[in-house]
Each structure stands twice: as structure tokens, then as C-alpha cells.
Amino acid sequence: MPSTPNSPPESPLSIPLPPAPKTRIPLLGALPLVTKHGLLKASLTCWRELGDTFQLPIGSRQMVVLAHPDHAQAILKKRRKNYIKGSAYRNFRMLAGDGLLTREGERWLKRRRLMQPTFQAKNIHLLAPLMTRLSGKMIERWRGQFGERATVDIHPEMVLLTQQIVGEALFGLDISDRSEDATRALDDALACFSKRGNSAAQLPLWIPTRGNLKLRRALRTLDKTVYGIIDQARHTRDGTQTLLRMLMEVREADTGEPLSDLDLRDETITLFLAGHETTALTLTWALYVLAQHSDVVERLYTEVSEVLDGRLPTIDDCDKLVYTRMVIDEVLRLYPAVWTVARNTVDDDELGGFRIPAGSIVLPSAYLTHRHPDFWPDPERFNPDRFRAGAKRHEFAYYPFSQGPRICIGNSFSLIESQIILATIIQNCTFTLDPSCRVEPRTQITLRPSGPVRMQLALRPQKIPA
Ligand code: HEM
């Protein structure tokens, strides 16, 4: 059968497999390399030595890392039917069930069409005031808690704020009270989930290990809480618009049926999980990199002062906070919170002259592509001016939110949120890296700092708006 750009070409066995690191050993593959340096550093080293397409076998898992935008485009767009979300999303499914992020094929398409209108601009406008209010509240708390200056690990602060924002956007719930059952269950579930993600042996949930029992307990409490919130939302009409209420109002195109409680549970947990850590990391990396670029901070402060004149930023200011947005775009280039997406290969394919056998896990990596010297001059340099309006580039040279049909549904929500939070911080604070702060990016599913991002934070005197 002749191949088309949308179907994998026939791949005779004579086509070579991608090169693999020389240091790999039988049975373990590149595991010692990855254990020693971490997946990110190992990938960077292999990329330099082996080129844009290389194998990184880990035990029996055949992983292929890809740095060229053409290959990301083939996997995520042109031949996407050949690349499915398989085992890589097993842990996420355990917590979030059968939500948009993990669905496949027709079931995914149907759900995406149903949910897309929930994220349209007019709904983000409805939710944005809470981003302004909660960012302002964080600054007030910092003033009370830290006085004029303090040394602060900035990442937990960003996680707390983005959790509050997405929690309130979804459920209308103030989740800053960590003693509430809902937040405790979520914290427990997230902690177990993250521990599971890091452990080499992930035993099935029915095996009664201590970790599994704790996770099962947390999931039960979480379910009880989320179903309670859904039930309450069904029976109260206080006019507060939340993502949950918006999702309750959508109807299946073919049957006219609303989403079931189970669907609502899975989608709200999916949005909560996909929607806070990613944005928190983007802001943490932004502050980390800005602390080392005082010229950029100066330009940001000038823009924020001119546009806001002491007011807190709102969604209506975002179009005018052009440089703030360029800074966020550049942070997402150098530190894409989702450093790679993962797919399982259905049929043999060929990418960049190499055979990709069925069953391989392919990792098109935004982190590598965003540093590709053929597409980004002086790629390691932090330079927000790359994102001036009208700059042209390959469709997949920049894809922090992925690209193609499965592009992140929350990308506008997140960009508005990041602009509002960053502008609020720049308006109210100065910050430098604490001399003891030594971090580098580490990968789990997301691109996290290797340790606390300690900053010396000073609060600017409050300006009363004219
Ligand atoms: C800086 C922040 C964010 C980044 C870097 C990011 C990145 C991504 C990426 C790379 C994907 C594709 C994953 C894949 O196909 O394997 C994705 C999908 C998704 N994201 Fe985001 N995301 C961010 C914020 C958000 C927010 C705020 C929400 C929701 C409120 C959200 C909800 C989702 C959902 C539901 C999907 C699945 C979409 C689908 O498959 O149709 N994300 N995101």
C-alpha cells in the first residue's frame, strides 16, 4: 500500500535504527547513564553526540528522543494516528480517570469538541478577575509575612497561588485552607502520585503496600469531596461562574445528554492537575531567570508602571503588557514546563532516515527543539526580543503547549494567568537570587528545579493608584 504523509511509510528492516549511546549495557540499556545524569542531561549529551534522533533504551523500554521540529510535526500532527498515548499516561489515569488528557481517537475528539467552548475568550474573561484578586492577595500576605524583605523559596509560593486560582476557577472553592478535607485529600493524592511517578517499580494499585493503601484512601476521600462539590453545584444557583458549572451545561452533540458525574469528576481533576503545576513552574523559572537579567526586569517594570500606574493588572491590560508576554514566551522556550510529550508507536515508521519500530516510546522534546541551533540563533541566550510580533518560524520550532489537534486546551487561560501574576510581582517586588541558590532543571513529567529556588525578595513601597 503506498504511504501518504498521514500514514507511516513502509519501513524495510534495512533502514537503520536510530543511533544509541555507546555506554548502554545489556538488559539495562542507558539506565546507568540516566540514573547518573538524569533524563534531561542524558538526552542533551546524546543529542550532541548522536544527532536529532537517537535511542535511549531503558531496560526493556525502547525510547526514541527526537529534537527536530519535522519529527514533532509528524508525530503530533501529520501521522498522529500512528502515535498514541499509551503506558506513559498510566499514572495520570489512576488519579484523573478517563479525562481529556488521556482519551484517544474518536472518544477524545468528541470530548474535545464538547469542552473547547468552555475555554473560549468570553469564559476566560469571566474567570480572570479571580486571577487578579488572588495575585493581589498573595502580595498582601507577603507584605504581612515577610515585612520589607525576606529570603523565600519561590516555587511553593507559585504552586500555592496557581492551585488557588485553578481551584477557584474550577470549583469556586477557596483551597488556601489546607485543613479542609478536600485540600488534604488532594495533597495526599498528589504526594502519592508524585512518589509513584519517581519509583522504578510501580506495583498495581490492588497490591496492599503502604503507599498503595495511602493512595487508595486519598482517592476515596478525593472522590467523596469532588462528588460532594458536583452535587452541591447541581443544587445551588448562586450565580458564581466556574469551569465546573460551564461543563455541567454542555450537551453531547449526538445524544443531547449532559456529562455524567463520573465524567465531571474526571475532567475537573484532569484540569486541576494539568492546570496548576505547569503554570507555577513557568512563573518559578521566569523569576529565576529574571533574577539574572536586571536589564529585562527594568524594561518589565517600565512597561508595568506605564500600563498600570499602580493598579493591579486585569485581563484588559494583557494586550498592552506586550513585553511581559514576550518574557513569558521566552521563558517557555528555555524552560518548557512539559519538556517532552510521550507517545507509543502503533506501526513501524521512519523518521529522519531511521526506523521507528512499532511499540517504541517516542519523546518529541520541546526542550531540545527550543534549543536547536538551526532554528534559534544563539539558542542558550535569554532574549525575549525573539518574540517580537511577526517573527516567523517552523510551526513546530516552538511548541511549549504542544501543537496540532491536541494542543493544550488551557493555553490561553495559562498565558493570561502568567501575565497577570508576573506583572503583579514585578509591580510590587524586587528580587535577587540568594547566593546559596544552586538549581538546574530536572525532569519528572515536568521540568522542575532541582532544589529550592531561594530568592531575596524586597517589597516595593505601595503606590496608591491615581
Ligand atoms: C504553562 C502552562 C501549561 C503548559 C506548559 C501546558 C502544556 C501542555 C502540553 C504540552 C499538552 C499536550 C500533552 C500531550 O499531548 O501529551 C497539554 C495538554 C493539556 N493541557 Fe496544558 N499546559 C499548561 C497549562 C494548562 C492549563 C492552565 C490547563 C487547564 C486549566 C491545561 C489543561 C490541559 C489539558 C486538559 C490538556 C489535554 C488536551 C487534549 O489532549 O485535548 N493546561 N498541556
- CATH number where 283 lies: 1.10.630.10
Integer Cα distance of 270 and 258 in angstroms: 18
Ligand 1 centre and the CA of 464: distance in Å? 37
Give me the sheet containing 429-433, strands edge to edge: 149-153, 454-459, 429-433
Residue 10 maps to a domain: no
C-alpha cell at 167: 481551584
Ligand 1 pocket test: which of 109, 278, 408 has the largest number of ligand atoms within 8 Å of its C-beta? 408
Q: Give the residue, by CA position, lying nearest to ligand 1 atom 15.
A: 406
Tell me what pLDDT residue 76 has: 98
Of 97, 89, 106, 114, which Cα lies nearest the Cα of 268? Answer: 97
Tell which atom from ligand 1 comes closest to the C-alpha of 278.
Answer: 2
Q: Examine residue 87 and state whether it is found in any structural domain, yes or no.
A: yes
Q: Is residue 188 part of a domain?
A: no
Q: Which residue has the cell 476521600?
A: 221
The residues, ordered by sequence, that sit 6+ positions from 271 with a Cβ below 8 Å of its Cβ are 99, 166, 170, 243, 410
C-alpha 378/C-alpha 385 separation (Å) is 13
What is each CA distance from 190 to 264, 443, 447, in whole angstroms?
19, 17, 17
Task: Report residue 382 as a C-alpha cell.
Answer: 535569554
Nearest CA to ligand 1 atom 16: 341
Which amino acid is located at 322 in the chain? V
Q: State whether residue 423 is helix, strand or coil.
A: helix
Task: Kindly state whether residue 66 falls inside one of the protein's structural domains.
Answer: yes
Is there a domain that residue 202 lies in? no
| 447 inside domain | yes
As for how many domains the chain has, the answer is: 1
Quickly count: other Cβ atoms within 10 Å of residue 230's Cβ: 20
Mind listing the pLDDT tens digit of every residue in the chain (466 residues)?
344 556 666 666 789 999 988 777 666 777 777 777 788 988 999 999 999 999 987 777 788 999 999 999 999 999 999 999 987 788 788 888 999 999 999 999 999 999 999 999 999 999 999 999 999 999 999 999 998 899 999 999 999 999 999 989 998 877 666 556 666 777 777 777 666 655 555 677 778 888 788 888 888 888 888 888 888 888 877 778 899 999 999 998 889 999 999 999 999 999 988 988 899 999 999 999 999 999 999 999 999 999 999 999 999 999 999 999 999 999 999 999 999 999 999 999 999 999 999 999 999 999 999 999 999 999 999 999 999 988 899 999 999 999 999 999 999 999 999 999 999 999 999 999 999 999 999 887 789 999 999 999 999 988 766 6
Range of the domain at 278: 31-172+240-459
- Using one digit for the tens of pLDDT, what is the confidence trace for 72-113? 999 999 999 999 998 778 878 888 899 999 999 999 999 999
C-alpha pair distances (Å), 21 with each of 54, 226, 303: 8, 46, 47
At 252, list the grid cell: 453531547
In a domain, 374, yes or no: yes
CA distance 464 to 48: 53
- Other residues' Cβ atoms within 10 Å of the Cβ of residue 308: 20
* The pLDDT of residue 1: 38
Residues with CB under 6 A from ligand 1: 100-101, 112, 166, 270-271, 274-275, 278-279, 282, 337-338, 341, 400-402, 406, 408-410, 413-414
Show the DSSP H helices in 259-408 as ranges. 261-290, 294-308, 322-334, 366-369
C-alpha cell at 441: 532543571
How does DSSP assign 198-214, residue by residue?
Answer: H-S----TTS--HHHHH
Grid cell in block for residue 413: 487561560
CA–centroid distance, residue 281 to ligand 1 (Å): 13
Quick one: which atom of ligand 1 is closest to the CA of 103? 40
Residues 6+ apart with CB under 8 A from 137: none
Asked if residue 232 belongs to a domain, the reply is no
> What distance in Å separates the CA atoms of residue 329 and residue 314, rounded to the nearest whole number?
19
pTM confidence score: 0.92
